[in-house]
Amino acid sequence: MPKVVISEFMDEAAITIELAGFETLYDPGLVDRPGDLAEALRGADALIVRNRTQVRGALLDGAADLKVVGRLGVGLDNIDVEACGRRGIAVYPATGANDGAVAEYVIASAMLLLRGAYGATGRVAEGAWPRNALMGREIGGKRLGLIGFGAIARETARRASALGMEVAAHDPYLAPGDPAWTPPTGPVGRRDLATLIAESDVLSLHVPLTEGTRGLIDGAAIARMPKGAVLINAARGGVVDEAAVVAALKAGHLGGAALDVFDREPLDAQAGAAFAGVPNLILTPHIAGVTQESNVRVSAVTAKAVRRHLIGR
C-alpha cells in the first residue's frame, strides 16, 4: 500500500475521497517539526506540501522511496525540482486551481487602498465625521501594470478591465503575437519594464522568485513609480525590497502597498517591527491564493495527480 505524507493543511474531504486506499499521514504541523517530517518520509512514496515545506537537501536525500511530490499551489521555489528530476521524482503543482483567488485579492487590495475609507470605523462610532479626510480614489480609469502575464495575471487583467482600468503588462517570455495580449475584454498593452513601472497607478507582481527577479522592485524602481501609486505583491517574497516599500510609504511617495509574501515567512519579531505604524499598508500571511473554495480545488487537483501517478491511471 503506497504511503502518502501531507505536511501542510489541505481539504480533508480530498484526502478521504482521492487518497482512499493509501496509507495516509496527514499532519499539518509537520512543516514545523523537521525531525518528525524526516522520520515520516522514511518509506513514503508521496509527499504533499504547500509553500513552507522545503523539499530539498537532507529532507529529500532521506526520502529514499519518494516517487512524487504534490504542491498545493503553483510556485515551486520551495522544491528542488532539478534534484527531484535526477531521482525520477515527479512534481505536480496545482496549476490553475487558485488563479481566481489571487486575482480577487489583487483587485480587492487595489480598491481598498485607492479608496482609503475603510479604516474609520472606530472614529465614526465615536461621533467623528471625517469625510474630507477620507475622500479616496476610484479604480475606474486607473492604469494597472502587471509584471508577468501568466494565468493569474490574465485573470487579474480580466477583472480589472471589467472595472474600467487600463491594463498593461511586461512579460519578456510571451511572444508579441500571443493571443493573450488581445483577450475578449480588450487589448492589454505590452510594455518594457521601465515604462510599465513609470506608468502604473497600480503595480502588481506575478513572477516567480529567481536570481533574475530577486530585488526586482527595489528603492530605485519604487522611486520611478508615479507619486501615490499602489504596489501589490502576492507573488513571492524577495521580489520586492520590503525596507524600500516601508520608506516610500512613510515618505508619502507610495499611496499604498499590499504585501502577502515576504522574504522570510513567517515574519520574525525584528522583521515585523519594521512594519509597525506604517501608513496605507496591508500585510497578509501568504493567503492570497487560499480561500475556502480554492482550497477545495487545489486539494482535489493535487490529490488526484498524486493518486494517478502512484497507481498509473
**Cα–Cα distances in angstroms (integers) from residue 114 to residues 32, 136, 179, 229, in the given order:** 37, 6, 31, 9
What is the identity of the amino acid at 3? K
Q: Which three cell numbers stand for residue 8?
A: 501542510
Cβ contact 201:142 at 8 Å: yes
CA–CA gap between residue 234 and residue 258 (Å, rounded): 8
CA–CA gap between residue 48 and residue 32 (Å, rounded): 15
**Catalytic residue list contains 190:** no
Cβ contact 231:217 at 8 Å: yes
**Catalytic residue list contains 191:** no
CA–CA gap between residue 149 and residue 152 (Å, rounded): 8
Q: Which three cell numbers stand for residue 121?
A: 470605523
| Alpha helices for 41-183 (secondary structure H) | 57-62, 81-87, 99-115, 121-125, 151-162
Cβ contact 217:257 at 8 Å: no
* Active-site residue identified among 143, 154, 158, 236: 236
**Edge-first strand listing for the sheet containing 68-71:** 23-26, 3-6, 46-49, 68-71, 90-93
Cβ contact 170:147 at 8 Å: yes
* Active-site residue identified among 50, 206, 286, 309: 286
User: Residue holding cell 480589472?
Assistant: 160
* Active-site residue identified among 23, 39, 138, 265: 265
CA–CA gap between residue 309 and residue 163 (Å, rounded): 42
Closest CA to 260 of 282, 240, 293: 282
**Catalytic residue list contains 265:** yes
Catalytic center residues: 236, 265, 286
